[in-house]
Amino acid sequence: MRQASFPREFDYIIVGGGSSGCVLANRLSADPRNQVCLIEEGGSDNTPRIQIPAGTLTLYKSRKLAYQFFSVPQADLDNRRIHVPRGRGLGGSSIMNSMIYIRGERSDYDGWAVQGCTGWDYASVLKYFMKSEHDCLGLDPRFHGTGGELDVTTPREANPLSRMFIKAAEQVGQKENPDFNGNTFEGVGIYNVTQRDGKRLSAYRAFVHPVRNRPNLHILTGMTVKSLITRQNTVLGVNVVHGEQQFGLFAQRETVLSAGAIGSPVILMASGIGRGNDLVGAGISVIHELQGVGQNLQDHVDGLVTVRSDEARSLGFSWRSLPAVLSSPHKYALWRKGWLTTNYVEAGGFARTPLADGVPDVQFHFVPGFRSHRGRLFEMGHGFAIHTCVLRPRSRGEIRLGQNGMQDIQIDFRFLQDPRDGQVLKEGICLARKILAAPIFDGIRGREMAPGQDIVTDDELMAYIRRGASTVFHPAGTCRMGTDADAVVTPDLKVRGMTGLRIADASIMPTLVSGNTNAPCIMIAEKAADMILSDRQR
């Protein structure tokens, strides 16, 4: 990155080199008149752990490549602290996610519009999804683009058990869906992924790496944004720390926060923008009272059904799988085939429980390998599992700063605070069990390790959820978009009561989308860039 010597003034400053920030950096710097600065606290993505799809399993506990956040004890999850890793480096969480390309249900966006977010209905945002997409599969052109930077394709070599999952779901009444991002959302199938030539295609690799040498694009890594520089409710730039140096960077036009559902509200609060009483309690002077900052936190709470099996075709380590394991580097290097191509959740889908209100309320992520019932990232042996998450959670949490400010980030999901979320998850786990009980699995059936064959009653399942449920890492909503007094940003993503400041990332979602969040974050940035560039023409 060109940071040995760099200017201190730009037209636009983008804080955060994740999925949204990378798109903004590309689009805003496409006009050579715009001097654009992209700031990322992490560093390079140049490691096989990121580029090889199977490497994702090694990233969740990496202190170099992921922020290791933990929630406060969750009262309705047996007071457990939930692990919340987020990507740290150019590409943000797109360097460590499962690469699944899902946009969500169209009613998600229509619901945003009903809440007053004009221009965010499905028909309006579809063009932004299509703009960034390069469909490699020849899907319906009414819903898919082919001219974008982001390749959307299928896994190079899906595990045979992933195909069995689809057949099993069909045997219990679900339908196969070849395109979750087309005309129909509900059903099961092989997920599309953001990969190119069998490698992870992060937002950085898709949108910034090809244009990194633009003379008007300044990519600054290893820099921590401590706060915004403000004067009378106008944002002038950001205060940053780089090594032992502290200095300001200034934006002549706008500063855009794209630091994610955790980072963006934290930067606002550290700058004195937020709930006054909370800021004073954290030792921060209030410059702008904005009640919604850090509120409205949502995530997909998740439960696991995992089965031990002797099936050596599943992803796992044993003497019978040794040939596949030993040959995998060779297969990957020569043909981009074999075990190293997996994202571990190649198949899944969207289904309705008896509690659903017309649209799917749970999502499945099928793992063609044994998923530890003890919470470990890795265990020897074989098996298969289904993760089930609540797509439309009603529980709402918050992010706040403790007495040590940015060194004391308190994440409180308040999972299952609304009892209906627990009921939906219980029904989803029952449906997952039903799928795993389908006849196609008879030949490889093993012992259910979690919840466990003895866990059968509603009370037993709810107790299992409280002691084992977690998250699929989709935090959102903490800088909510809207038109009411508690909204943080208006539908044009400008922070209410401030000048020269927008937010573009998952934090602006009024309600969490029904599915994985990477593609929606890219869409949000595409629309944000359009609005920013439109304002520049005025």
pLDDT at residue number 4: 52
pLDDT per residue over 210-225, tens digit each? 999 999 999 999 999 9
| Residue 377 predicted with pLDDT over 80 | no
pLDDT at residue number 404: 77
Other beta carbons within 10 Å of 49: 18
pLDDT per residue over 243-295, tens digit each? 899 999 999 999 999 999 999 999 999 999 999 999 999 999 999 999 999 99
pLDDT at residue number 374: 73
Strands 133-135 and 150-152, by their bridges, are parallel
pLDDT at residue number 2: 46
φ, ψ of residue 388 in degrees (nearest 5) = -125, 125
> Residue 371: which pLDDT band, with cuts at 50, 70 and 90?
confident
Query: How many alpha carbons fall within 13 Å on the CB side of residue 390?
Result: 29
Question: Which residue did the predictor score with more confidence, 448 or 537?
Answer: 448
pLDDT at residue number 1: 44
pLDDT at residue number 505: 98
pLDDT per residue over 106-153, tens digit each? 999 999 999 999 999 999 999 999 999 999 999 999 999 999 999 999
Strand (E) positions, 205-358? Answer: 217-221, 224-231, 234-242, 245-257, 273-274, 288-289, 295-297, 301-309, 347-351
Specify the 3-state DSSP secondary structure of 425: helix
The pLDDT mean for the chain works out to 95
> Residue 400: which pLDDT band, with cuts at 50, 70 and 90?
very high
Q: Angle, nearest 10°, between helix axes 419-436 and 458-468?
A: 100
pLDDT at residue number 7: 83
**487, two tokens:** 């909204």
pLDDT, average across residues 483-501: 97
φ, ψ of residue 13 in degrees (nearest 5) = -115, 130
pLDDT per residue over 31-86, tens digit each? 999 999 999 999 999 999 999 999 999 999 999 999 999 999 999 999 999 999 99
Ordered domains of the chain (ranges, CATH): 156-190+301-392+432-468 (3.30.410.40)
Q: Is 225 annotated as a binding residue?
A: yes
| Residue 369 predicted with pLDDT over 50 | yes
1, 14, 220, 268 from 4: Cα distances, Å: 8, 19, 10, 28
pLDDT at residue number 23: 98
Q: Where are the alpha helices (DSSP H) in 320-382?
A: 322-335
Q: What percentage of the chain has pLDDT greater than the value 70?
A: 98
CA angle 41, 42, 45 (to 5 degrees): 150
Work out whether the CA dihedral 22, 28, 30, 36 comes out positive or negative. negative
The amino acid sitting at 265 is P
pLDDT per residue over 407-417, tens digit each? 899 999 999 99
pLDDT at residue number 28: 98
Q: What percentage of the chain has pLDDT greater than the value 90?
A: 91
pLDDT per residue over 328-355, tens digit each? 999 999 999 988 999 999 999 999 999 9
Residues belonging to the active site: 474
